[in-house]
Structure 1
Amino acid sequence: MKIGIASLIAGYVLSQFYRAFLAVLAPALEADIGATPEDLAFASGLWFLIFAGFQIPVGAALDRVGPRMTATVLLAIGGAGGAVLFAMAQSPLHISLAMALIGIGCSPVLMASYFIFARVYSPAVFATLAGMTIGIGSLGNIFSAAPMAWAVGLFGWRETVMGIAALTLLVALIIWVTVKDPEKVVSTAKGSVLTLLAMPALWPIFIMMLVNYAPSAGLRGLWVAPYARDVFAADVGTIGTVTLIMGLAMIAGNFAYGPMDRIFGTRKWVIFAGNALGAVACLALYAMPDRGLWVSVALLALVGFAGASFPMLVAHAKAFFPAHLTGRGVTLINLFGVGGVGLFQFVTRPIYATSADSAQTAAEPYAALFLFAGLALIVGLAVYLLSQDRTD
């Protein structure tokens, strides 16, 4: 089972890579096929929304056929196939279609791990294991930064993405060989996603999940690169460093959150405090978007660190799930988390464009994005105050 988990984490490394690599590819895609930041915002948002939408069938598949087949088939066909399409793209439309297909391919890998954790391991360590998985998987964020920029400079962006497609197919095959499905839960109780949606205790958690991951993933995955370039005249190497620092902060946050429910005896207030810190960082970026590159990098790193409460929110919600709906439950909560990032990307596109039309400085459109991110977190926190704290 440990080898199988390792292979699923490798798949999640690829998932993290694919959701963030557009930031580094942006200059090459604009020069080669005319893809603007708005085009890439649409493609990135599509990845997240397709990924989120597929959580419903993935949840049913995890409960019915298990994580082995679910992860292997989707990652091989969607992930590797989408990457091949990306490498062959001739227009921004092709990039969007490729990102949608990659989103399908990446949709099961994290939840397959969480499904196994929920079925095989003690509930008390779920948050720690979940945080560890995202922490290690977030190496994909690192690979999509400076190493990706180096590979693109050495081999070209098409060749680099084609190589990643081959690696994705290899990981899918390793998952097929190494993952073992947990024993199925035998239950006479019936239920579906609608059963979970009808539980009032889950809705404050869903709303918090909708906004908690969006600022860190949305800014890191798309807006950090043009922000550094337009406001601070950063070159490709500096952009790689900036995205690397934010990625490392996100990894550190996942490991830091993991054991906090056992240390403090609460999940609700750990999540609340962390996201409140993230909101403060977003509003500080809004207030001083052009104070200095490294001031902004420090605040972006804080956004990334504080926004890593995703696994803790999954653990909070899982405490309310019936055992026979575990697969549907973890994927439903993931739908809100990843779907929130997709919505963030779609909404920030017109926010940026509208602000840019009337901006007096290069920083103003990005300040508008930071303000939106901070306000979204504040709204989520207000709703989350109504949640019921629960630990295992």
Structure 2
Amino acid sequence: MAATEQLGPRAAVTVFLTFAFAYFFSTLVRAITATLSPTLSAELSLSASELGLLAGGYFFGFALTQLPLGRWLDRYGPRRISVAFLSVAVLGCVAFALATSFTGLLAARVLTGMGVSACLMAPLTGYRRWLTPAALLRANSWMLMTGSLGMVAATLPVQWLMPLLGWRGLFWVLAALLVVCMGLLAWRVPAWRHPDPAAAGAAFPVGYRQILVHPYFRQMVPIAFINYGGLAAVQTLWAGPWMVRVTGLSAQASAQGLFAINLCMLCAFWTWGLINPGLVRRGLAPERLIAWGLPISMLVLAGIVWMGPAAGWTMWALFCVSGTFVSLCQPAVAQALPAQAAGRALSAFNLVIFAGIFTVQWGLGLAVDALGALGWDTVASFRGAFAVFGLCCLLAYGVFLRGYVSQLQRRRG
């Protein structure tokens, strides 16, 4: 498909829904460990650091594939790569269902993360060629909304199904549903063609080196790693243990809180999708919105640490929703680089994000255990760990803000 070809409205909707269906299940698999954390911790006697590593293993596997994934997406297209990668995710879900030890669970999570790593990058690569800039921002936000819907499904619905299927049965069902996604992608997503096969080699002039040194890419890296990575780490894992171990909620009440948090995120991304085209028409750049909006999430996080046991799901929902400003950086990076390098630009940036998720998820667990080893009680250990995370967020935002101010000065000069 030529780099300038755009899909008609009906075809665009069909392709979006097909990719969204697959992304829904990929985020359900991602977030399910937060709901299952009390069960897995009790059944396998997992420590906080092991729980963090188990959840982070998904993102580690995700990160391992990002650089080759970007190159393959640009060359072979979203359809072929999505189907091939999802077959690995099916194997990962089956391995998780059969695992009998922490090591087996961790290996399965890594494998699953590798398998679903194309579920967002593949559609975003296609959208960069198939949609207008305003429609691209809307599609990005609504893909993230679909991801939030998957995370909603990973809370109370999973809790309700646990007595019927058990956590192993849930992963057998997920494996089967991912097979269905593979069939739909192979059927409904357009083929990836180049206008001139003889010039195919010239269609990929931008390498990872040029992407990594691009000023706009480098400007967004700190907040992508710490703030965006930390947002996902909280949403997919640590909000759950906080509500159980700090606030004192039951596993059922924690699942209800996670359900509400992810429902709020769904509404936030739906709203971003509605207003993004208007923001583009008004000339409001993503970096400007991030500069003004992201500090809200850090103020909320400071409030959570100060409140301690009084900080329930409403505060975590406010933290996550206010943190969605940072999600604007991902499509902005894709638009800042050539369309023929969209797969590599998005995958390189996604590598930064998911490396951040893995680091923050595991790092928070290590910090909680380390402070506990120093004699701090559970509540104090969690508050201390999140205070350190908040300082890291502030530092990353400061680096971004310095780059943003320098960019404004260059434009005015």
* Larger fraction in helix: 2
Give the CA deviation at 1:296.
2.8
Identity rate of aligned residues, in percent?
23
Say if 2:286 is the partner of 1:267. Answer: yes
Residue of structure 2 in register with 1:56 after alignment: 67
Tell me if the contact between 1:26 and 1:37 (Cα under 8 Å) persists in the aligned partners: no
Q: How many residues align?
A: 386
Q: Could you tell me which residue of structure 2 aligns to residue 46 of structure 1? A: 57
Structure number, greater radius of gyration:
2
Could you tell me which residue of structure 1 aligns to residue 4 of structure 2?
none
Identify which of 80, 83, 98 aligns with 2:90: 80
Counterpart CA distance in 1 for 2:342 and 2:67 is: 12
| Ranges in structure 1 where 5+ consecutive residues have no aligned partner | none
Matched residue of 1:288: which SS? helix
Among residues 350, 357, 376, which one is paired with 1:334 in the alignment? 350
CA distance in 1, matches of 2:54, 2:191: 33
Task: Report the counterpart of residue 285 of structure 1 in structure 2.
Answer: 304
Alignment TM-score, normalising by the size of structure 2: 0.88
Partner residue in 1 for 2:316: 300
Question: Are the counterparts in 2 of residues 53 and 339 from structure 1 also a CA contact under 8 Å?
Answer: no
**Corresponding letter in the other structure for 2:221:** F
Match of 1:178 among 188, 192, 200: 188
- Structure 2 SS opposite 1:213: helix
Mean Cα deviation higher: 181-190 or 85-94? 181-190
Instruction: Write out per-residue CA displacement over residues 252-278 of structure 1, whole angstroms, 9 at most, x where no aligned residue.
Output: 222333434425622112112332111
Q: Distance in 1 between matches of 2:325 and 2:34?
A: 23
For residue 27 of structure 2, what is the aligned residue in structure 1? 16
1:111 maps to which residue?
121
Query: How far apart, in 1, do the equivalents of 2:361 and 2:205 lie?
Result: 36
| 1:169 counterpart residue number | 179
Once residues 188 and 57 of structure 1 are traced to their aligned partners in structure 2, the CA distance between those partners, rounded to angstroms, is 17
TM-score by length of 1: 0.93
Alignment of 1:1-392 (within 5 A): 1=11, 2-76=13-87, 78-184=88-194, 187=202, 190-258=205-273, 259-260=275-276, 261-262=279-280, 265-290=284-309, 292=310, 295-385=311-401, 386-387=403-404, 388=407
Is contact 1:280–1:374 with CA below 8 Å preserved after alignment? no
Question: Residues 215 and 201 (structure 1 numbering): CA distance in 2 closer, same or farther, change over 3 Å?
Answer: closer
1:334-375 Cα deviation digits (max 9, x unpaired) = 111122101111221221111122354431121123213322
Alpha-carbon distance in structure 2 between the residues aligned to 1:124 and 1:3:
18
Computed over aligned residues only, the root mean square deviation of the Cα atoms, in angstroms, reads: 2.0
Matched residues in 2 for 1:359 and 1:49: separation? 31
The one-character-per-residue Cα deviations of 1:94-144 (angstroms, maximum 9, x if unpaired) are 110010000011100111111111001111322111001110222110011
Displacement of 1:221: 1.8
Give me the whole-angstrom Cα distance separating, in 2, the residues matched to 1:17 and 1:114.
19
C-alpha displacement at 1:250, in angstroms?
1.9
**What letter corresponds to residue 98 of structure 1 in structure 2?**
A
Measure, in 1, the Cα distance between the counterparts of 2:327 and 2:191: 22
Contact 1:82 1:102 in 2 (8 A): yes
Query: In the superposition, relative to structure 1, how do residues 68 and 218 fare at CA in structure 2: closer, same or farther (>3 Å)?
Result: same
Distance 1:330 1:24 in 2: 29
Determine the C-alpha separation between the residues in 2 that align with 1:336 and 1:249: 25
Contact 1:212–1:309 (8 Å) recurs in 2: no
